[in-house]
Amino acid sequence: MIRVSFRHGMLLGFALIVLLLGGAALRSWMVVERLVEESRRGSEQAIHLTAAIQELAERTVDIERSARQYLVLDDAVFRQRFDEHLAESLVLVDRLDTLAAEPLSPLLGGWKMVAEALRSGLDKKIGKAELTPFLSRMVELNGLLKQAGQRWIENQNSRLLIELEANRLHLGGQIALALGGALLVALAMAWWLVRPVRQLEQAIIRLGANRFDESIKVGGPADLRQLGRRLDWLRQRLGELEADRERTLRHVSHELKTPLTSLKEGVALLREEVPGRLGANQREVVDILQHNVTGLQQQIESLLSLNGAALEARHLNLEPVELAKFLAGVVQRREFHAQSRRVKVVVEAPERASANLDSEKMVVVLDNLLSNAIDFSPESGEIRLVVSRLDDCLRFECIDQGPGVAPEDRQRIFDPFVQGQREAPAQRQGSGVGLSIVRDLVRAMGGTVSLLAVEKGAHFCVELPNEY
């Protein structure tokens, strides 16, 4: 089986298109050249024919004059002139016969017969009255030759026009066939080359979305099929690495949580003085232990949450959502949190506007943003939760009046386990994975999240494609 590569397929397709269109162009050029040559020859022939007929008419006048002079004066000089004019006229007749034998031959033959009769009559020295009919007949034949020559030229022009029209239609058909063939070749190339490229694109998209369960199969040229097999090998390798990562994370988390639980219980027993009363220094050590155990537990739980969010981001579940009600539900989840900080949350959404969203992921995104905004807002502050529909995207904004994000933290604020340098007005316990989870979920929905520069507070903006 012959395996054609992508490059060879492109060259072959372009060569076929060039052959089809080039052949049609060459054929058109040859036909046009032939028609131009025929037109040129016809024009030259018509010019020679017209000139010969005109010259024959002039010679006929000379023949008539010299014949009449010879009959009146009986001078040999006039007879010699007659013979010379007649000989030249016969040469013109023979030339006309070669130029257009078919339509002029009968008339030319008649002209020769009249010329021979006129010569014979002069030899016999017939009377003037008997010579006049021959001269009149010769003049009449000249007129008929002129008319026949015009008809012949008209017929030649008509024939050339008919041939030109026939060739035009024929060439039009050939060009149409060549264009149709070129189009078919182009479509075949598109189907043969674009289809595997689309398969490669879809395979790369699946790999980027961590969908390693579907095998990658690419058709088309041999080199693209080979590339598809390499991508499938990469898919298997990435799937193995992802499985190892998840398994390692689960094992590490389990191995940490089990002794951590025992350690936490032991610290609780010490704090409750079950083994015995503690001194002031001992209680201080127990408090430090309890604080670190609690922090370690939060770090492990945050790590598990981050891993769970990464797994959840692989699948989208779109459904129609009314934006105003959706934001109201997000605010209601944080109602007690906002009340404890005496923070007012204002929702701004277009009335009766809806969109297709993965509501579960979007709730997590907005809940994380709103939770941070409540923690960093001053008491009696205001938070604006805004949604707007633009031409090509949906924009969700969370704006607070807190201390904002330090300039040196803006580039890494969405990285895991990164907490800003500016502290919240109220005491809070965070691990720094909330905004990382927000970024992963927004990316999974095909959008972007960014921190906009403002003079006061923090302004987070989430933009999703309009189809979502």
- pLDDT at residue 461, rounded to an integer: 93
CATH number at residue 445: 3.30.565.10
My answer on whether 332 and 389 are in the same domain is yes
pLDDT tens, 255-278? 666 676 777 777 777 777 777 777
**How far from 88 is each of 142, 149, 328, CA to CA, in Å?**
15, 20, 116
CA atoms within 13 A of residue 162's CA, in its CB half-sphere:
6
How far apart CA 161 and CA 42 sit, in angstroms, is 12
My answer on whether 352 and 297 are in the same domain is no
**203 occurs within a structural domain:** no
For 227-381, strand residue ranges (E) read: 319-322, 344-348, 354-357
My answer on whether 298 and 382 are in the same domain is no
- pLDDT at residue 91, rounded to an integer: 84
My answer on whether 42 and 130 are in the same domain is yes
- pLDDT at residue 354, rounded to an integer: 86
My answer on whether 114 and 251 are in the same domain is no
**Considering the chain, what is the average pLDDT of its residues?**
79
Share of the chain above pLDDT 70, in %: 85
Tokens read off for 19? 């052959």
Is pLDDT of 428 > 70? Answer: no
My answer on whether 38 and 178 are in the same domain is yes
Is pLDDT of 310 > 70? Answer: no
CA atoms within 13 A of residue 381's CA, in its CB half-sphere:
22
**356 occurs within a structural domain:** yes
Instruction: Show Cβ contacts of residue 362 under 8 Å, excluding neighbours closer than 6 positions.
Output: 321, 326, 396, 441, 445
The end-to-end CA distance of the chain, in Å, is: 46
My answer on whether 276 and 328 are in the same domain is no
My answer on whether 329 and 304 are in the same domain is no
**202 occurs within a structural domain:** no
Domain boundary among 263, 296, 312: 312
Task: Find out whether 67 and 118 touch, Cβ atoms under 8 Å.
Answer: yes
Q: How many domains does the chain have?
A: 3
Domain boundary among 312, 331, 349: 312
Neighbours of 60 (CB within 10 A): 22
Which of 348, 372, 373, 349 has its CA nearest to residue 434?
372
Range of the domain at 17: 6-186
Where helices occur in 391-433 by DSSP H, the ranges are: none
My answer on whether 47 and 149 are in the same domain is yes
The more confidently predicted of residues 36 and 385 is 385
My answer on whether 332 and 300 are in the same domain is no
- pLDDT at residue 109, rounded to an integer: 81
Task: Find out whether 64 and 85 touch, Cβ atoms under 8 Å.
Answer: no
Amino acid at 270: L
- pLDDT at residue 460, rounded to an integer: 93
My answer on whether 290 and 363 are in the same domain is no
**217 occurs within a structural domain:** no
Is pLDDT of 137 > 50? Answer: yes
Which of 358, 460, 367, 354 has its CA nearest to residue 414?
460
Tokens read off for 334? 């944080």
Element (H, E) at 60: helix 6-73
Task: Find out whether 358 and 386 touch, Cβ atoms under 8 Å.
Answer: no
pLDDT tens, 177-199? 888 888 888 787 777 777 777 87
- pLDDT at residue 383, rounded to an integer: 92
Q: Quick one: pLDDT band at residue 430, thresholds 50, 70, 90? A: low
Left, alpha or beta for 74 (phi > 0: left; psi -120 to 50: alpha)?
left
Q: Quick one: pLDDT band at residue 413, thresholds 50, 70, 90? A: confident
**214 occurs within a structural domain:** no
Is pLDDT of 462 > 90? Answer: yes
How far apart CA 292 and CA 455 sit, in angstroms, is 37
CATH number at residue 85: 1.20.120.1730
Query: Poorest-confidence range of 124-133, 238-247, 302-311?
Result: 302-311
pLDDT tens, 244-257? 766 776 666 666 66
- pLDDT at residue 266, rounded to an integer: 75
pTM above 0.75, yes or no: no
My answer on whether 175 and 102 are in the same domain is yes
**155 occurs within a structural domain:** yes
Is pLDDT of 63 > 70? Answer: yes
- pLDDT at residue 112, rounded to an integer: 82
Tokens read off for 129? 């009255």
- pLDDT at residue 344, rounded to an integer: 92
